[in-house]
Amino acid sequence: MSKKHKKRSKLLFPTYDAHLFSAGYTPEYRGKSRCVFLLNEIWNEEEQKNYSAHLEFRKVAAMEAVLNVAEDGIGADVGGLYEIFGKKQKIALLERIFQRKKELWLLPGDYDYDEDDSNDSLNYREDLERFQRKKNLKKYHLYLLEKQGGGFLILAKKYKIRQITETEAEETEEGEPLPQ
């Protein structure tokens, strides 16, 4: 790799065509916001068999899901978990979500929006700017979980992956809560 081109990402967890079984988000409560994914049929080269895993992101600051369901049916592959480097990408995600929130709120047509009013909730940037300064984006990592029909971008402080047993996977499939 030449000096001109910095490395933009790192593969953290190769999923070897695993399947995303479920995805969930828990909003901030006492600083414990999180995103949880259950992955099935991850190939373990060493043991020559598939397993399931619980993938959890903690202290989530932002999340963007981009999925084309037409390309992402049952059994659609997960391409891998990456860390994306660079402050610019983190800020771009936050800005994209800020703008998209405005689009979504205005979509029904019943919000009395004043684009010149800085205190209008759709223009209010103080919390976003304070987060970018005070919380220090260096403490947060930008993760990409690739999917056949798109992917999930998650800005979080950390993640963990835990292999789960067949019993836990069966319980989850039957509607039980995800393992803690």
pLDDT in tens, 149-173: 888 999 999 999 998 866 555 554 4
Q: For 124-140, what is each residue's pLDDT tens digit?
A: 988 888 888 766 788 99
CB 38 within 8 A of CB 178: yes
What is the model's pLDDT at position 93?
95
Write out the H or E segment, with its range, that includes residue 78. Answer: strand 77-84
Q: Which DSSP category does 111 fall into? A: -
How much is the average pLDDT of 66-70? 78
Q: How far apart are CA 69 and CA 18, in angstroms?
A: 17
How much is the average pLDDT of 2-26? 81
Give the pLDDT band of residue 101 (cuts 50, 70, 90): very high
Contacts 24+ apart (CB under 8 A), 86-91: 86/8, 86/142, 87/137, 87/138, 89/142, 90/137, 90/140, 90/142, 90/155, 91/132, 91/137
How much is the average pLDDT of 75-91? 87
What is the model's pLDDT at position 127?
83
How much is the average pLDDT of 53-60? 92
Residues paired with residue 151 on neighbouring β-strands, in sequence order: 66, 146
How much is the average pLDDT of 33-61? 86
Q: Is the pLDDT of residue 64 over 50?
A: yes
- Output b/e per residue, 151-167; b: 16+ Cβ within 10 A: bbbbbbeebeeeebeee
Give the pLDDT band of residue 58 (cuts 50, 70, 90): very high
What is the model's pLDDT at position 92?
94
Give the pLDDT band of residue 72 (cuts 50, 70, 90): low
Q: Is the pLDDT of residue 175 over 50?
A: no
